[in-house]
Amino acid sequence: EAQVTQNPRYLITVTGKKLTVTCSQNMNHEYMSWYRQDPGLGLRQIYYSMNVEVTDKGDVPEGYKVSRKEKRNFPLILESPSPNQTSLYFCASSFSQGGSYEQYFGPGTRLTVT
């Protein structure tokens, strides 16, 4: 089954404790992105990757890191989480088919930083 998976789905942590949210897709997509969703602010892009070893900042990259060492994986790293990073996080992947770049979203990771 074609899908994007994220782990963990829920995470409660404390300020300053490094964490990683994993994202994996089995569709051989070139593009992968991370978004955060906050009430009233919609989906804001954190980082994106156009292919292996190619990553770039989105709208809200501060406090986050990513890596793309393999095509299927795109982990999101919070080196020193802070309460303002409490949010719902979505990973997404996409590729071009017939002029459409449909983004396939993962199930989301709800992160709480206390």
Q: Which is nearer to another protein, 13 or 104 (CB)?
A: 104
Residue 15 or 74 having the CB closest to another protein: 74
Give least dist CB 33 to another protein, A.
8
Q: Which is nearer to another protein, 68 or 80 (CB)?
A: 68
Question: What residues make contact with another protein under the rule CB under 8 A?
Answer: 30-31, 33, 35, 40-45, 48, 50, 59, 90, 94-96, 99-103, 105-108
DSSP string covering 18-32: -EEEEEEESS--SEE
As measured in angstroms, the least distance from the Cβ of 85 to another protein is: 19
Residue among 8, 53, 13, 7 nearest 32 (CA): 53
Smallest gap from Cβ 105 to another protein, in A, equals 4
What are the DSSP E strand ranges found in 1-114?
4-7, 10-13, 19-25, 31-38, 42-51, 54-57, 65-66, 76-78, 87-94, 104-105, 109-113
Of 6 and 85, which has the nearer Cβ to another protein? 6
Torsion of CA 102, 95, 43, 65, to 10 degrees: 170
Nearest approach, Cβ of 47 to another protein (angstroms)?
11
